[in-house]
Amino acid sequence: MSTLRTLLRDGLRLALLRAPRKIPAQVGIGPVLLLVALDALLGLPRVWSLIEAPRTFAINGLAGPLIALALLLVAGAALARLAQRPTLTFTVAAWLATAGLVPTLAGVLPVATSFANEHLAARWVIHVVWWCAIVLRLAWFLAPGIGRALAGAAAAAAISVLPWLAMDVPELIETDWLAHYEQMAARGEGADYREPGELSDPEATFHAQTALLERALEQLAPQRPGQIDLYVLGFAGDASEGAFRNEVDFLPELAAHRFDAAGRSLRLVNHPGSADAVPLATATNLERALRGIGQRMDVDEDILFLYLSSHGSEDPELYVNQPPLPLDQLDPARLRDALDAAGIRWRVIVISACYSGGFIDTLRGPRTLVITAARADRTSFGCGNSANATWFGQAFLVDGLNHTTSFRRAFLRARHRIAEREKAEEYDPSEPQWAAGEAITERLARWRDALPPGRAVSFIPSVQVVDDDSATSRPAAAPPPDGDDEPADPPAPASDGKEGV
């Protein structure tokens, strides 16, 4: 006990930047363990004041004292060796542990606790400066010269401080969130909260998916021998925003009246308002839908028009979200594998999402046209419950394909209108992308030449995201009888592809 009292006395002197009075004859690891545990206990009141009630002990919070012990021992060994006192490793560690009790105790005082809670960064800086001064004073006491004192202090300070900057160490006390929510439920709080787009009966919706998708596939019209048919599949990925659903819900009418594809459209939609009748937009449902369409169509003759609308990430991935279900995200490789597994040869893939250009390299091919709303490193605009359709969906579907059967012309119109809008609103250009294989270009030209005249259709949002009296919700003007009015927008450079697709 006398050794421990000596260590405590001289460690507290160090905290006041005074040299120890006596070097104990022999110190083991026991006092160091005891002092680290004492420091953890003394710090509990401050942690308690920071943690929201109800509180509970966190077993993973023991990582903090264990890391502190390891760093003190390594720092003590470094300082003792550089000071040419290698036998004092545990003594140095014990002195440092004792000196560290003073900042811990100071942090428990009401005034200090209030200051620390309001000025966490300032508290950290003060603590580090104080600690470095303690280490320097100890090194000065032990080392035979200035050089070794500075080297020992620098090494010990770096070892005992820098690792904490790179770690997020849990506390010994944490909020008991289970008890917290039980208390809320007992008080009747939070019972009505739902995440945006959350299903009212997720289990029933989940178990209904197979039947919903099988019914939708059974209702698809068969292919017509000797004629190139267009099959349309829409995918609205995010249930929390209505614009994605609105675009996909628009596809069946558009396909029926513009592309002679009545009965050949299928929708996958994440939205609570359609979940009882329409299959969800999940990666698994997409794979199953593609397989079903591949069995329905003539894969050697017919074309698939796949339209996907959601948020996107730079990974790249398409955001798939239907709360509270845990769903896989959709990446280019999985989409390509699903198309290949379905045996679908002729593909028009349109992706309306941020960073969607990142899908192109994986999806491109001689029999594939890929159109994306943005470059691989750019965002697109119009989501966030700010419009009834995304900027690209509005420009490409409603104002583009609704007035021409040419995917190329619809793309040029969309790109031009989006660029004008981005410039007017001072946004970085999204730069929609076009990648067409030679074979799909010829196939689309043949399909388009055989189309009967069609009419434009009204875009009536299923989900009225905003009250909008613009062209977004008004009936579209009918095109000329041949169904192929050329938009007045300036054409793109010739290098972008063939105009007739």
pLDDT digits (tens, 9 = 90+) for 297-318: 999 999 999 999 999 999 999 9
Take residue 213 and report the two structure tokens written for it. Answer: 């998708």
Distance CA 238, CA 271 (A): 7
pLDDT digits (tens, 9 = 90+) for 340-389: 999 999 999 999 999 999 999 999 999 999 999 999 999 999 887 778 99
- Exposed, middle or buried, 452 (CB in 10 Å: 0-12/13-18/19+)? exposed
- Among 48-62, 95-109, 115-129, where is mean pLDDT lowest? 115-129
Query: For 203-493, CATH number?
Result: 3.40.50.1460
Question: Which of 76 and 189 is assigned the larger pLDDT?
Answer: 76
The pLDDT of 59-79, averaged and rounded, is 93
Q: What share of the chain is helix, strand, coil (3-state, %, to 5)?
A: 50, 10, 40
Alpha-carbon distance values, 252 to 86, 230, 259, 264, 461 (Å): 81, 12, 10, 8, 13
DSSP string, 104-141: HHHHHSHHHHHHHHH-HHHHHHHHHHHHHHHHHHHHHH
Q: What is the pTM of this model?
A: 0.61
Question: Which of 475 and 421 is assigned the larger pLDDT?
Answer: 421
Distance CA 65, CA 266 (A): 59
| End-to-end Cα, the chain, rounded Å | 90
Distance CA 303, CA 231 (A): 6
What is the number of helices (H) and of strands (E) in the chain?
A: 18, 10
Burial track 345-380 (b if 16+ CB lie within 10 A, e otherwise):
bbbbbbbbbbbbbbbbebbebebbbbbbbbbbebbb
H-only helix segments in 272-317: 283-296
Task: Please provide the size of the chain in residues.
Answer: 501
Q: Between the CA atoms of 53, 59, 61 and 65, what dihedral angle is there, to the nearest 10 degrees?
A: 140
Q: Is the pLDDT score of 453 beyond 80?
A: yes
Of 155, 462, 140, the closest CA to residue 309 belongs to 462
Check: CB of residue 247 under 8 Å from CB of residue 291. Answer: no
Check: CB of residue 213 under 8 Å from CB of residue 290. Answer: no
Distance CA 38, CA 97 (A): 9
Cβ of 232: how many Cβ atoms within 10 Å?
24
- Which residues, 6+ apart, have CB-to-CB distance to 111 below 8 Å? none
Alpha-carbon distance values, 482 to 260, 452, 486 (Å): 13, 8, 11
Of 105, 106, 97, the closest CA to residue 135 belongs to 97
Counting residues of the chain whose pLDDT is more than 90, the rounded percentage is 69
Q: Is beta strand 368-372 parallel, antiparallel or unpaired with respect to 433-436?
A: antiparallel
Q: What's the mean per-residue pLDDT of the chain?
A: 88
Take residue 338 and report the two structure tokens written for it. Answer: 């699903």
Distance CA 455, CA 403 (A): 8
Check: CB of residue 169 under 8 Å from CB of residue 106. Answer: no
CA 470 to chain CA mean position, Å: 33
Q: At 259, is the secondary structure helix, strand, or coil? A: coil
What residue spans define the domains of the chain?
2-177, 203-493
Q: Is the pLDDT score of 213 beyond 80?
A: yes
Of 424, 399, 425, 427, the closest CA to residue 413 belongs to 399
H-only helix segments in 283-351: 283-296, 332-342
Hunting for tokens 């299928």 — which residue is that? Answer: 266
- Exposed, middle or buried, 469 (CB in 10 Å: 0-12/13-18/19+)? exposed
Check: CB of residue 354 under 8 Å from CB of residue 391. Answer: no
Q: pLDDT-based confidence at 189, cuts 50/70/90?
A: low
Q: Is the pLDDT score of 222 beyond 60?
A: yes
Q: pLDDT-based confidence at 165, cuts 50/70/90?
A: confident
Residue 52 DSSP code: P
pLDDT of residue 123: 75
Please give the single-letter amino acid code of residue 420. E
pLDDT digits (tens, 9 = 90+) for 107-123: 666 655 555 556 667 77
Q: Is beta strand 368-372 parallel, antiparallel or unpaired with respect to 303-309?
A: unpaired
Q: Between the CA atoms of 462, 463, 465 and 471, what dihedral angle is there, to the nearest 10 degrees?
A: 0
Distance CA 444, CA 439 (A): 9
